[in-house]
Amino acid sequence: MIKKTSIYSHPLVHRLMDPGVEKEKRDDDKKVVAEIMARCFVPSLITTTSWEGFHFVGHEIRITEAMDCYGAVVWPSALVLCYFLETNVKHYNMVDKNVIEIGAGTGLVSIVASLLGAHVTATDLPELLGNLQYNISRNTKMKCKHLPQVKELSWGIALDENFPRSSNNFDYILAADVVYAHPFLEELLITFDHLCKETTIILWVMKFRLEKENKFIDRFKELFDLEEIYNFPSLNIKLYKAVKKSQRSA
């Protein structure tokens, strides 16, 4: 496995913190972030059902949000993960891979993974499944190699019953913005651990807001080998790759 390291984590950056390098970092960050955000568009015509548009994998993706719920809004972390999946297909090939997204929300990341050829299971809380299923169906029907599934997953609850370890054969776990000011961080960690086999790769994008995020990272690193792949300072977002500690880093 080829490790793709951003300019921000390169060891030279830590030794050569001169103004020129700092400017290069800022310019690189702004350029990539601008490219990511340019994937969004707003419909030119008013329709009965409001939606937001995105361009990924050569498709126009239409997402309906629910503004009364954090989990049913497209956050920048999801765009970062979608962009990464699309632009790193050589190193993280989704074709025919078994993929699960936790905290799928509106379904954008799961839709992109499906369009890239993966067997996708999109999961979230029961109250979000209706909108999640609607978005996934309207954007993947007759467009994907494998029809994605939508399943309920409440972190830490009934994991053995709904996702028995014997049948968990996920190549990838995808997660975008699942760590924030909620009281279920320990349950989230349990869920990551339960769904992972030694060969499973976690691709996880996180926006840093509070000290809780740093504490969760420390807990996470007790169970997983964590590698920072990208850092976007202007968004306060980092993208990580993780595997269980029992697996040697590729």
The full DSSP string for the chain is ------GGGSHHHHH---HHHHHHHHHHHHHHHHHHHTTEE--SS--SS--EEEEETTEEEEE---TT-GGGS--HHHHHHHHHHHHTTTTS--TT-EEEEES-TTSHHHHHHHHTT-EEEEEE-GGGHHHHHHHHHHHHTTT-SS--EEEE--TTSSHHHHS-GGG---SEEEEES--SS-S-HHHHHHHHHHH--TT-EEEEEEE--SHHHHHHHHHHHHHEEEEEEEEETTTTEEEEEEEETTSPP-
Residue with tokens 């995105």: 54
Q: What's the pTM value of the predicted model, to 2 decimals?
A: 0.85
Distance separating alpha carbons of residues 144 and 136, to the nearest angstrom: 11
Give the pLDDT confidence score for residue 70 in this predicted structure.
59
Q: Which tokens sit at 33?
A: 């972030």
Contact 176, 146 (CB under 8 A): no
> 11 or 134: whose pLDDT is higher?
134
Residue 17 has pLDDT above 50, yes or no: no
| Model confidence pLDDT, tens digit, residues 29-86 | 889 999 999 999 887 766 666 789 999 999 999 999 876 565 678 989 999 999 999 9
Quick one: residue 193, left, alpha or beta (phi over 0 = left, psi -120 to 50 = alpha)? alpha
> 233 or 98: whose pLDDT is higher?
98
pLDDT confidence of 12, banded at 50, 70, 90?
very low
Query: Would you give the end-to-end CA distance of the chain in angstroms?
Result: 5
Q: What is the mean pLDDT of residues 153-171?
A: 94
What percent of the chain lies above the pLDDT cut of 90? Answer: 66
pLDDT confidence of 109, banded at 50, 70, 90?
very high
> 185 or 3: whose pLDDT is higher?
185
Q: Lowest mean pLDDT of 4-8, 43-47, 164-168, 188-192, name the range.
A: 4-8
Q: What is the mean pLDDT of residues 120-147?
A: 95
Q: What is the mean pLDDT of residues 222-249?
A: 88
Give the pLDDT confidence score for residue 98 in this predicted structure.
98
Q: What is the mean pLDDT of residues 200-206?
A: 96
Q: What is the mean pLDDT of residues 105-116?
A: 97
Give the pLDDT confidence score for residue 243 in this predicted structure.
97
Residue 218 has pLDDT above 50, yes or no: yes
Give the pLDDT confidence score for residue 182 in this predicted structure.
73
> 6 or 60: whose pLDDT is higher?
60
Give the pLDDT confidence score for residue 46 in this predicted structure.
64
